Amino acid sequence: MIIGERVKQARIEKGYTQGELGKIIGVSKVSVCGYETGNRTPTIDVLIKLIETLDISSDYLIGNDIRVVSEEEEPYQMMIAKEDLKILQAIKNNQALYNQLYKDPERTIKLINRKLK
């Protein structure tokens, strides 16, 4: 879903319609719409054309745009999407949920999943 949202945002920022972007990268408007909604996955060739045409980085497009480092002195780091960071911040702001996730993440996720269904 991150790829689709970011393609749409970058397309709008560049001032392209879905049809215009499709023509530039060699796919149909329906394909571009599918990428943006997450109903279609672009091929690697189309992904490269999207990156070049929309002037965005591959890391940004796939959601690896924020570097996260360990709070301890360990040599650890990873990349996450801004959207994922917002989710983590919201969880940390809910102390009870954060504590439950910290204590037993798998069980807590299963309980949340059941409530959502």
Buried b (16+ CB within 10 A) or exposed e, 46-59: bbebbbeebebeee
How many domains in the chain? 2
Q: What are the tokens at 90?
A: 């919201």
Residues 38 and 79 in one domain: no
What pTM, to 2 d.p., does this model score? Answer: 0.64
Instruction: Give the position of tokens 């002037």.
Output: 55
Residues 9 and 58 in one domain: yes
Span 20-75, pLDDT tens digits: 999 999 999 999 999 999 899 999 999 999 999 999 999 888 888 777 766 666 66
Residues 55 and 79 in one domain: no
Please give the span between the terminal C-alpha atoms of the chain, in angstroms, as a whole number. 20
Q: What is the span of the domain harbouring residue 58? A: 2-62
